[in-house]
């Protein structure tokens, strides 16, 4: 095959697959399982020279159309693991390509799933020498070592996926509690072996209800298969709980039940008994309308392609489901960052007031107060384990200070801010109301000055609305939470300019510490997609170096500006512990937001005296590097 043909066939194979929209925390996706995950281990019929499929192989779902015929002129649609890989920016090529590399150009992939595998074969594909075997036509097509034989120490940044058990039920191997325990033990042994080799994140699928399939209907084994699948799931859950480790247990059984209860929302025909008919007519009854020989063939209107395997539409729902779990911390871990943005906006309002007052405090024994309105916008850039989004906020700040002596001024400030974060591809929305109180002290002695503040805050996350795709549908999971913060901030500067020059130019050093706690919460209900989250803590310890400048344009008007650079010492990545509400006894940690190690701060403002003891001020502030926060404030100050 020529290089151009290789590129063309690969392009056709992966056309239409979703692609990652931002950097991911996973280096590769490694898959073990049966036909539900098989990305093409068996050869498709026909010669590549006659329009055949040299790279795709057989996948256990419908062909892509428009004819859907099995003459190898159309590719099989992608299965859920391939679609998930596309969402993660990774690949899910089969581990045992049928045709030699010299023809296909494809090296061995990381998908070890093979149609027809029982749980003992899945375990062998993980741990056994020559354990990955593909049999077809009464013979062995390809044998390869189990994954850990060739890779005894795994990449800790890899994501692993395991499914299985359906063939154990369909072949009558799992019939009671003991046989279900034995089949589950094979899968759990595979998980344990991966953990011992260094795997940090493993997804384990439950077994969908194989009785509620078209084959279960026509065979008469529906009740027995449903019972066996339930026994296997229960054993799998119990054994994984006993094993421990960072394992994500899925709830496909619940997800598909929810799809069946609202068929129209997912694009399926609600007038069709979806668990009784299929598209292809293979081991099932083909639907007379949407089936391949029907009046208007369309697999997207049906849940099953054949007796037990889902159509491409269900495969997409399944991939989106897994991705919604993996992607949740990329949004929810931004909740503490919203609180930090509120705190920064509040502190920046105070610093603008202090800078405008530099060298021009009220008289000793007199009060000065201000009322201000502020607006801010924070932009989160796409990055590793961070979704892109924009946060907008409005706030009101009230403050007063009392000049205690020539050198000292003390004060209090109260801030109220409302903030909305829209983030992710489906525009999830998270709302925060922050109540902030700051006490501050200031010192000035000729050229030397210092500012210090203590801030306390209550955080009200009243509307946390995580949204994501499930096939053509969009789902929303909602919750609410509370939180607290406290912060210490200090600056020490020295004025270099002469008093009669009209300038005040002050280099300064700064030190800041903040701690934000967001209480854990559960999304409402027990749907298959609803999640619960543990408490989050965000610490920030920063040192900075900057320069302030004030210039008196006229007796009534001055302009002021500052620029600084801060170093963040609490810049380790933050993992978020979470779990599915519908899967008891299972929790796991996934990577979330990582604070930047350094930020640039800049600001500019103007102060104008409307009367001898009344001033109007406006300022703009910027903070950030990749993530950027913009703030504006307008305030009125008066002495009394």
Q: Which are the catalytic amino acids? A: 35, 306, 309
Give the strands of the sheet with 201-204, arranged side by side: 29-32, 159-162, 201-204, 247-249
Do residues 288 and 302 lie in contact, with contact meaning Cβ atoms separated by under 8 Å? no
Residue corresponding to tokens 């903040």: 514
DSSP string covering 310-334: BPHHHHHHHHHHHHHHHHHHHHHTT
Do residues 559 and 552 lie in contact, with contact meaning Cβ atoms separated by under 8 Å? no
Cα–Cα distance, 317 to 331 (Å, whole number): 20
Residue corresponding to tokens 């934000």: 516
The first and second tokens of residue 106, run together, are: 């494809």
Cα 375 from chain centroid (whole Å): 27
Q: Is the peptide bond before 20 cis (omega within 30 degrees of 0)?
A: no
The first and second tokens of residue 315, run together, are: 């495969």
Select from 205, 172, 175, 173 the least CA-distant residue to 191: 205
SS (H, E, C) 201-263: EEEECCCCCCCCCHHHHHHCCHHHHHHHHHHHHHHHHHHHHHHCCCEEECCHHHHHHHHHHCH
Residue count of the chain: 640
Cα–Cα distance, 489 to 510 (Å, whole number): 8
Do residues 316 and 255 lie in contact, with contact meaning Cβ atoms separated by under 8 Å? no
Do residues 607 and 356 lie in contact, with contact meaning Cβ atoms separated by under 8 Å? yes
Select from 175, 477, 174 the least CA-distant residue to 325: 477
φ, ψ at 301 (rounded to 5°): -90, 0
Do residues 454 and 488 lie in contact, with contact meaning Cβ atoms separated by under 8 Å? yes
Q: How far is CA 331 from CA 221, 371, 430, 449, 521, in A?
A: 44, 34, 9, 41, 14
Helix (H) or strand (E) holding 160: strand 159-162
Q: How far is CA 25 from CA 193, 201, 330, 463, 594, in A?
A: 22, 11, 10, 28, 11
The first and second tokens of residue 289, run together, are: 């309308």
Cα–Cα distance, 112 to 109 (Å, whole number): 8
Cβ atoms within 10 Å of 36's Cβ, excluding its own: 24
3-class SS at 194? helix
Cα–Cα distance, 511 to 484 (Å, whole number): 21
């Amino acid at each position: 095959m020529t290089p151009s043909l290789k590129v063309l066939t690969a392009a056709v194979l992966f056309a239409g697959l979703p692609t990652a929209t931002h950097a991911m925390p996973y280096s590769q996706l490694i898959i073990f399982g049966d036909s539900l995950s098989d990305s093409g281990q068996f050869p498709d019929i026909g010669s590549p020279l006659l329009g055949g499929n040299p790279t795709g192989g057989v996948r256990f779902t419908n062909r892509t159309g428009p004819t859907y015929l099995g003459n190898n002129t159309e590719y099989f649609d992608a299965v859920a693991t391939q679609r998930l890989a596309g969402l993660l920016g990774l690949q899910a090529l089969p581990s045992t390509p049928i045709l030699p590399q010299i023809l296909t150009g494809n090296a061995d992939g990381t998908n070890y799933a093979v149609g027809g595998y029982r749980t003992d074969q899945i375990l062998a594909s993980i741990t056994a020498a020559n354990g990955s075997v593909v049999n077809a036509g009464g013979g062995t097509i390809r044998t390869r070592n189990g994954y850990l034989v060739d890779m005894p120490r795994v990449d800790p940044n890899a994501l692993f996926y395991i499914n299985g058990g359906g063939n154990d039920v369909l072949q009558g191997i799992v019939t009671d509690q003991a046989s279900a325990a034995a089949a589950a033990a094979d899968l759990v042994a595979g998980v344990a072996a991966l953990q011992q080799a260094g795997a940090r994140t493993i997804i384990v699928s439950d077994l969908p209800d194989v009785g509620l399939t078209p084959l279960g209907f026509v065979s008469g084994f529906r009740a027995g298969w449903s019972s066996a699948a339930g026994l296997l799931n229960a054993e799998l859950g119990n054994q994984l709980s006993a094993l421990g480790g960072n394992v994500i247990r899925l709830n496909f059984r619940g997800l598909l039940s929810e799809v069946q209860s609202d068929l129209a929302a997912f694009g399926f025909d609600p007038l069709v008994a979806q668990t009784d008919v299929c598209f292809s007519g293979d081991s099932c009854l083909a639907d007379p309308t949407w089936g391949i020989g029907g009046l208007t063939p369309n697999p997207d209107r049906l849940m099953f392609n054949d007796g037990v395997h889902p159509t491409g539409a269900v495969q997409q729902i399944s991939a989106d489901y897994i991705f919604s779990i993996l992607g949740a911390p990329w949004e929810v871990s931004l909740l503490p960052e919203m609180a930090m943005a509120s705190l920064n906006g509040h502190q920046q309002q105070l610093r603008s007031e202090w800078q405008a007052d530099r060298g021009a405090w009220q008289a000793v024994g007199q009060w000065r107060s201000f009322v201000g309105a502020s607006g801010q916008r924070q932009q989160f850039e796409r990055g590793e384990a961070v979704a892109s989004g924009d946060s907008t906020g409005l706030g009101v700040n009230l403050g007063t200070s009392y000049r205690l002596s020539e050198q000292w001024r003390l004060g209090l400030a109260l801030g109220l801010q409302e903030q909305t974060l829209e983030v992710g591809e489906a525009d999830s929305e998270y709302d925060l109301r922050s109540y902030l109180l700051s006490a501050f002290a200031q010192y000035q002695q000729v050229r030397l000055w210092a500012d210090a503040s203590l801030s306390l805050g209550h955080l009200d996350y009243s509307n946390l609305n995580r949204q994501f795709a499930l096939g053509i549908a969009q789902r929303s999971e909602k919750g609410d939470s509370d939180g607290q913060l406290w912060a210490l901030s200090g600056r020490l500067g020295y004025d270099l300019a002469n008093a009669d020059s009209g300038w005040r130019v002050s280099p300064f050093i700064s030190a800041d510490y903040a701690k934000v706690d967001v209480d854990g919460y559960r999304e409402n209900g027990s749907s298959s997609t609803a999640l619960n989250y543990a408490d989050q803590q965000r610490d920030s310890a920063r040192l900075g170096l900057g320069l302030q400048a004030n210039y008196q344009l006229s007796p009534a008007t001055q302009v002021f500006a500052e620029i600084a650079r801060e170093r963040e010492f609490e810049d380790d990545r933050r993992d978020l512990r979470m779990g599915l509400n519908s899967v008891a006894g299972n929790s796991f940690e996934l990577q979330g937001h990582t604070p930047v190690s350094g930020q640039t701060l800049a600001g500019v403002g103007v102060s104008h005296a409307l009367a001898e003891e009344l001033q109007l001020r406006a300022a703009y502030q910027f903070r950030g590097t990749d993530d950027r926060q913009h703030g504006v404030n307008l305030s009125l100050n008066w002495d009394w």
